[in-house]
Amino acid sequence: MNQIPDIKPHTTAMLVGPAAALMFGVFVLPFLFLLVLSFWSQVPGSLQFDTYLTVLNYARIFGDSYYLGGLWTTLWLSGLVTVICLLLAMPLARWIVLRAGPAKGLLIGLSILPLVCGALLPTLGLVNLLSPLGFINGALKSLGLIQSSLPLLGNITGVAIGLVQAFLPLMILPLITTMERLPQEYEKAAMSLGARRLVVWQRIILPLLLPGIVAGSLLVFCASLTAFVTPQVLGQGKVVTFASLAYQQAALVLDWPFASALAIVMLIFLGLAGMLGALVTRKFGKAS
């Protein structure tokens, strides 16, 4: 047993205090304000708030097909991006863990590069690749594979490509971490007991990788749900996502209460995604 040294209460306060104060001041307080704000309303024709509490903002989101459509698009786009990331990251992570050898560190570094580059520059680079006169369409045309340009920009396809590019590392990292803790002997033992490769995956590898799969999926899903720069640049204003709606209301229309309500709805879906992840882990993680 590790002996934990005695820490006096005032030492604890000094250790935790600065960060806690910062978090309270710049996160908790504004968040509470955001929550209250979402139940206020804008006085028509002015920037004044009507502080009478109302659920009108929420009624507007769930009653208007424009906003509901944006919500629905964002949800299934995030789901699609999560599934694509999972399918791409699984073999890549397994290859890095099992076969990369000395190049492992370098490969992990390369695969997390999109995370440290920020969203804007890689996305602008993608514009060059995906646009009607861009590299991909040009190459396919000169190879004679297509006659006219494929629409890769200003639609869901482009946004999905951009989001996968940006958030693939969020899937790779948890998968690598989980796979590294999985001794090879589990698979070998299962095979010696009569399990074919597919059965080994079903009954041994996937259940044991579940925490990593859930963590990676949650990260990618939540990041996609709240992504703003990538859908904005690659969607070219033609793809309506929830984050861009909130941006419009907050920065262009200046209806802060309604923008707050949009933000709260987004947060509720983030919370639901987290609960679903916890539920999946609890249900399938322990018992087989």
Partner 1 sequence: MTGFPYLRIRSLGKAYRGATALHDFDLDVEQGAFVALLGPSGCGKSTLLQILSGLLEPDRGEIHLAGADITRLPPWRRNIGLVFQNYALFPHLSIRQNVRFGLDMLGIKGKEADARVDEALEMVGLDPALARRPSELSGGQQQRVAIARAIAIRPRLLLLDEPLSNLDAVLRQKVRLELRQLHDRTGITTIMVTHDQAEALATADRVAVMEAGRLLQYEAPQGLYRNPATAFIAGFIGSPAANLLPLVARDTASWTLPGGELWQPDAALTPARNGVAAGAACLMALRPETLALGSLGPGGLPVRIGAIEFTGGDQLVHVEAGQARLTLRLPAGTRVAGPTAWLFPPIQSPLLFDANTGRRLPTPH
- DSSP helix, strand, coil percent of the chain (3-state; round to 5): 75, 0, 25
Q: How far is the CB of 287 from partner 1 (least distance, A)?
A: 8
> Cα separations (Å) of 93 from 87, 90, 104, 106, 113?
11, 5, 10, 13, 15
Q: Does 112 bind partner 1 (CB under 8 A)?
A: no
Q: How far is the CB of 105 from partner 1 (least distance, A)?
A: 21
Give the type of residue at 131. S
Distance CA 99, CA 66 (A): 49
Q: Does 204 bind partner 1 (CB under 8 A)?
A: yes
Q: How far is the CB of 94 from partner 1 (least distance, A)?
A: 17
**What's the chain's length in residues?**
288
Q: How far is the CB of 160 from partner 1 (least distance, A)?
A: 33
Distance CA 288, CA 285 (A): 7
* Burial label, 106 (beta-carbon count in 10 A; 0-12, 13-18, 19+): exposed
Interface residue with partner 1 among 86, 100, 195, 229 (CB under 8 A) is 195
Interface residue with partner 1 among 183, 202, 282, 283 (CB under 8 A) is 183
Distance CA 280, CA 201 (A): 18
Q: How far is the CB of 192 from partner 1 (least distance, A)?
A: 4
* Window contacting partner 1 (CB under 8 A); options: 6-14, 27-35, 187-195, 237-245: 187-195
Both tokens of 247, joined, read 């941006």
Interface residue with partner 1 among 8, 10, 99, 286 (CB under 8 A) is 286
Interface residue with partner 1 among 36, 207, 270, 280 (CB under 8 A) is 207
Interface residue with partner 1 among 36, 108, 208, 267 (CB under 8 A) is 208
Q: Note the residues at the interface with partner 1 (CB under 8 A).
A: 183, 185-186, 188-196, 199, 203-204, 207-208, 285-286, 288
